[in-house]
Structure 1
C-alpha cells in the first residue's frame, strides 16, 4: 500500500511564535537581568550560547524584537528592554567617585554625575552608584571601572557584598565572620582579605544590589 512521502521537518514554534532557540535566548535575558541587574551584551549572549560571533546573538535579538518580545536601543551595548514587564520606574542615581577620608559617601563633592536607571535592573532599590577602583572583587564579576549600585544601610548579613569603611578608607568586599571579629573577603587571590579585630572601627555604608558597566550608557 503506497504511503505518503515524508514531510520536510519544520521548526517547532511556541504558541507565541518563538522557536525553541528564541525561547532559550529570551529566558536567558530574563535570568541575566535578575542576577546582574542589567541586560547582557551581545558578546555575553554569544559566549553563553557558544555562538561564533556576537552577530548571531544580534540576529536572535532582532528576531525577538520583530515578534514583540523586546525593544532594542541602537548604539547601546546593553540597550535591551524586555516587554511585558512592570512599567519602568526611572531612578536618578548619584554616581560617587573617589571618597575623601572621613567624609560621608554622598557628600556633594564626591558626586560626579547623576544617572537615570530603571529600577527593574536591580535586586533591591539602590540609593547611589559607586565607581569601583581596582580588581580585588574580580571573581565576583566586579571589575575596575564598574559602577556598583548600593542600597544605603548600616547593617548587612554575612556573605553579602558590602561597601565598608575602615577608618578613612572605603572598600567593596564580601562580609564574613572571623571569630569574634569580621573579615572583608576579596574575590581575587592576588588581594588579601581585610581582617577587622573586635573593637576595631568598621562601618557598613551599604549593600551592593546591582552592577552596571559604563558602556551601558554609550
Structure 2
C-alpha cells in the first residue's frame, strides 16, 4: 500500500523511486539528473523509458519539465510542501527530505554586486531580505543569489532565477557552486583536477574557467542547494 496524503498525488512505486532520485541528485550536486542518468540508476533500457515516467509525474503535477534542456526537471513548490508535511506526520521514508523539519520561515539575504576583498555577506552587498519556506530547499541555505546569464541553462538554471546557496569553502566534484573571481561572482559546476580547479558551464556556448592553485583572486563562496523563480517571492 502506497503512503499518500490529501496534499500529494498518488504515485506508483516506480514514480516514487524517480522522485527520490531527483531529490537526492539535487541535494548532492545542486541540479537534477538527466534522463540517461535516471535510466542508468534505475536499470531502464533507454532514456525514453525515463522520459515516459517523467511525463507521468508532470501530468500529475509533481514536477515541471523544461523543454530542450537535459536537466530541465523542477520539483514544484507544492510537491515539496506535501513531502515536507508527510515527513512531519511520519508517513513513509520515500517522503524523507534532506532538510530538517521546521515550520519557521527562513530570512535569506539576496546578494547583489560583490566587491573584491569583502565577504559576500557584507552588509553593502545585501539588496534585500526574503522570508521563504524551508521546505523549498534540499539543505538549509544561507543566502540567495540572482542568476545572471545563461551559462547554466542545461542544468535548468536560467537568467533571473534565484539560486539558494549554502555558504562553504569546500565542494565535491560535480556540485554546482558559487565562486568569486575578483569582482565577478559566477555559478558553475565544480571540478578539481591535478592541474587545478575547473569551473564548467552547462551550456556549450560558454567556456570552462581554469583556475591555477596560485591564483589568489579566487574564492569558493558556497554550493547550490535549491532554485526558485523570483515570482514565487512576490
TM-score by length of 2: 0.62
Secondary structure at the counterpart of residue 23 of structure 1? coil
Give the aligned CA root-mean-square deviation in angstroms.
3.4
Partner of 1:99: 114
* 2:168 is the counterpart of 1:153: yes
Name the stretch that deviates more: 112-121 or 140-149. Answer: 112-121
* 2:215 is the counterpart of 1:208: no
Partner of 2:197: 182
Partner of 2:86: 84
Larger Rg belongs to: 1
Q: State how many pairs are aligned.
A: 177
Contact 1:36 1:211 in 2 (8 A): no
* 2:195 is the counterpart of 1:195: no
CA distance in 2, matches of 1:108, 1:17: 42
Cα deviation for residue 32 of structure 1 reads 5.8
* 1:212 to 1:36, Cα distance in 2 relative to 1, 3 A: farther
Cα deviation for residue 49 of structure 1 reads 2.9
* 1:24 to 1:136, Cα distance in 2 relative to 1, 3 A: same
Point out where structure 2 has 5 or more consecutive residues left out of the alignment.
28-52, 63-75, 89-101
* 2:24 is the counterpart of 1:22: no
Cα deviation for residue 156 of structure 1 reads 1.4
Point out where structure 1 has 5 or more consecutive residues left out of the alignment.
1-12, 38-46, 61-76
| Candidates 27, 49, 57, aligned match of 2:55 | 49
Secondary structure at the counterpart of residue 85 of structure 1? helix
CA distance in 1, matches of 2:221, 2:2: 47
CA distance in 2, matches of 1:181, 1:136: 21
Contact 1:79 1:216 in 2 (8 A): no
Alpha-carbon deviations, 1:104-161, whole Å to 9, x = none? Answer: 2112222122112222322221111111101111111111111111111111122211
Contact 2:152 2:188 in 1 (8 A): yes
- Would you tell me which structure has more helix in proportion to its own residues? 2
Partner of 1:217: 233
